[in-house]
Copies of this chain bind each other. A is one copy, B any other.
């Protein structure tokens, strides 16, 4: 067994293949879909993880390696690694190993999905925005 340790490079694409982009107000959420969404929102429900997302998203090139993230917090390196794992498993981040370093990027489709769920109906219904979101999803 040579590939027994593909830990860090797992893509963990937990996003539903084609999830609804309708806002909350359109209709009551199904139980399954609410569970999927809740996992993503819960991942964002921590100040450290929110700041991690923000740092990664605003970093040059849209990606940041762990060594860029850790010094921004007063937390141990394992703790940061744990938070990154939570965001990865929620489908909000993906990582890629390049040499010694591991680089993280956000998943715009996942963020667009959450934004669409929260967005007021007037903004997503017209079609232009929905099209824009759908474009992001491809």
- Tell me the A residues contacting B by CB distance below 8 Å: 23-29, 31, 34-35, 37-39, 41-51, 53-55, 57-58, 62, 72, 106, 108, 111-112, 114-116, 118-120, 122-123, 129, 132, 136
Contacts and interface: CB of A to CB of B under 8 A. Distances in A.
A45 B43 contact: yes
B44 A41 contact: yes
Contact of A51 (B29, B46, B72): B29
Given A29-B50, A31-B47, A115-B116, 13 more contacts: A24-B58, A24-B106, A25-B54, A25-B58, A25-B62, A29-B54, A38-B44, A41-B50, A42-B45, A112-B118, A112-B119, A119-B119, A122-B132
